Structure 1
């Protein structure tokens, strides 16, 4: 159930960001849901592989290269999902940063509510 809620929250945020950012285009809310599912799958499978393969450059840049990996995963997701387009790398980078920040703030609030109820 938690996975489904995360997918829905991520798709709502992504759909909202597509209205704010002119370089990110999501055609419908269903495309946003499919985007969130594909992104979750790619994050689970490819992200650890990318991190291991780029470990030296990630260490050299003090972890800032992880932003590039996030943007690459957004661009890769755009290749798989019809109805989701990104105009370039910099839009993907900005979109991934905002998506990460907003979702982490919302999930952190969810965790603090669970801890208070204990």
Structure 2
């Protein structure tokens, strides 16, 4: 449970980086929220973690033939769909186009991999 909480906090930082690097993925921080602007980043990271844990395996299983056919590149489309679903579930995240979703999904996948590597070493 502690590892999950740490991962959500680190993924909030990854979302901050994605928001900074990409114009098509925008987070609208809520200054009046219980935790201020940082609470918005944590909320979006938590929603993404839940979506990735619940819907992600289903999409990966259904998309397995395409993943095999494209040698794994279809996973970028799945990550884009997960990011789009997260944006649909909260009004604090906007994804403007499919290309932005794919680029954001790629950056989130790389960031998530780095976070997993850091947490596995500790």
TM-score, normalised to structure 2's length? 0.83
Q: Structure 2: which 5+ runs fail to align?
A: 30-37
Q: Residue 41 of structure 2 aligns with which residue?
A: 32
Cα-Cα RMSD = 1.4
Matched pairs, number: 113
TM-score (norm 1): 0.86
User: Which moves more between the two structures, 17-26 or 66-75?
Assistant: 17-26
Match of 2:98 in 1: 89
- Contact kept, 8 Å, 2:11 with 2:111, in 1: the verdict is no
Match of 1:4 in 2: 5
Q: Partner residue of 2:35?
A: none
Mapped contact 2:25–2:100 kept (Cα < 8 A): yes
In the TM superposition, what is the alpha-carbon distance from 1:6 to its structure 2 partner?
A: 0.6
Report if the CA contact (8 A) 1:31-1:84 is conserved. no
CA distance in 2, matches of 1:34, 1:106: 17
Gaps of 5+ in 1: none
- Aligned residues of 2:12 and 2:41 also touching (Cα < 8 A): yes
Contact in 2 for aligned 1:31/1:82 (Cα 8 Å): no
Q: Which has the higher helix share?
A: 1
Of 105, 108, 112, the residue aligned with 2:117 is 108
Distance in structure 2 (CA, Å) of the matches to 1:109 and 1:33? 19
